[in-house]
Structure 1
Amino acid sequence: MTDVDAPVANPDPGERRHPALVAAAIALPAALIVGVIVAAVLAGRVPATEPVALGPVPAPAAGGPQCTALLPALPNDLGPYSNAELAAPAPKATKAWQQSGGNDPIVLRCGLDRPLEFNKASALQVVDGVEWFEVAGSDGMKSSTYFAVDRGTYIGLTVPDGSGPTPLQSVSDAITQVIPQQPIDPGPLPN
């Protein structure tokens, strides 16, 4: 009498696995580990920054000699901000700097009209020999624009909040090197 449900013994206890099966069993987990490491490295990389798009702003003196002299004198780095590519078509006499993470850029525009807010009662701050007039961001904007008001043309520097004093200092140094100081010309007091 035989028992049908009895376990069948392995007829050859020394049977070996096929080498391809062993190699696959080792290679699959190793490939999975390498894939996870590569994905982690790629995820940790800083994304490539897009060119900075600037809209047009009236700048009647952008092609003038002051702006032509200023742009090449500007530094490539302003603290953690580096020279940024401008999206075409870029306005004349502009330059931008951006952090590697692609945060809000610092933007310089040369040859601007006198700011409407700049009048005889406006407070000024002097940074490295340049008189600046600040227009703080409004409507939730997290930046301020500083206007150099003591040169032959108006120069605007828009900086994100928290960017520190380096942008104003570095740009002031470049301005004093290439554009001579002139008396300020504020607008009349508002009524």
Structure 2
Amino acid sequence: MSNPGTEADGPPRAALIAALVVAIAAVGAALAYAATRHPGAPPTEPIRLAAVPAPHAGDAACNAVLHGLPQQLGDYQRSEIAAPAPEGAAAWAAGPGDAVVLRCGLDRPADFVVGSPIQVVNHVQWFEVREGDRATWYAVDRQVYLALTLPPGSGPTPIQELSDLLDSSVAAVPIRPAPPR
């Protein structure tokens, strides 16, 4: 016979151990799922880019930029570009349809005229062109024009990190806007 004061309160020990095992398995499954769905994971398919004129893509300034590009820009991982890859282009992705695209050696943007608004990010002067919900930023104070196209919600990190690279690898020059229209 057991004494009334010595009986254990609560569920049996085996039930507690089983609940703990189930909880640990659930946390492990959630972490495994999160690891495979990480926003920095590159897409499985190469990124397709349309060819655009980049007459200065082979210049020394573009070569310096392209050889110094990081594997990661913020949450975006360097991605393969589908053949035929345009000269002077690079891309980073955080998932399908969510790419940051760099193009180097372009002509001056048509809308970049005297009086255009410019933003300075980490010592680099950028001119923004909006197309729907995407923004393309042109570095307008370097020896060559560079364009950085950002998807919605990308935040400032990709342009900040690229500005640091440009500032250290390509000499700044005075801006050269077209005459006002």
Tell me, yes or no, whether TM beats 0.5: yes
Could you tell me how far 1:136 is from its partner in structure 2?
A: 0.9
C-alpha distance in structure 2 between counterparts of 1:78 and 1:104, whole Å:
13
Q: Which residue of 1 aligns with 2:20?
A: none
- Which structure 1 residue ranges, 4+ long, deviate > 3 Å from structure 2? 44-48
Could you tell me how far 1:103 is from its partner in structure 2?
A: 3.2
Could you tell me how far 1:45 is from its partner in structure 2?
A: 5.1
Could you tell me how far 1:72 is from its partner in structure 2?
A: 1.5
C-alpha distance in structure 2 between counterparts of 1:59 and 1:118, whole Å:
17
Q: Which residue of 1 aligns with 2:163?
A: 172
Matched, 1:187 2:178: yes
* Residue type at the aligned position of 2:159: L
Specify the SS of the correspondent of 1:144: strand
* Residue type at the aligned position of 2:113: N
Equivalent residue for 1:151, pick from 138, 142, 145? 142
TM-score norm. by structure 2 comes to 0.76
Q: Which residue of 1 aligns with 2:152?
A: 161
Q: Which residue of 1 aligns with 2:108?
A: 114
Relative to structure 1, is the Cα distance of residues 163 and 184 closer, same or farther in structure 2, using a 3 angstrom cutoff?
Answer: same
Q: Which residue of 1 aligns with 2:15?
A: none
Equivalent residue for 1:136, pick from 130, 136, 140? 130
| 1:7-86 → structure 2 map (5 Å cutoff) | 46=37, 48-86=43-81
Query: What is the RMSD of the two structures over their aligned residues, measured on CA atoms?
Result: 1.8
Q: Which residue of 1 aligns with 2:18?
A: none
TM-score norm. by structure 1 comes to 0.72
Relative to structure 1, is the Cα distance of residues 128 and 50 closer, same or farther in structure 2, using a 3 angstrom cutoff?
Answer: same
Matched, 1:93 2:78: no
* Residue type at the aligned position of 2:83: A
Specify the SS of the correspondent of 2:47: coil
Could you tell me how far 1:48 is from its partner in structure 2?
A: 4.9
C-alpha distance in structure 2 between counterparts of 1:66 and 1:59, whole Å:
13
C-alpha distance in structure 2 between counterparts of 1:145 and 1:133, whole Å:
8
C-alpha distance in structure 1 between counterparts of 2:103 and 2:171, whole Å:
18
Specify the SS of the correspondent of 1:169: helix
C-alpha distance in structure 2 between counterparts of 1:172 and 1:62, whole Å:
18
Gaps spanning 5+ residues in structure 2: where? 1-31
* Residue type at the aligned position of 2:49: L
Structure with higher Rg: it is 1
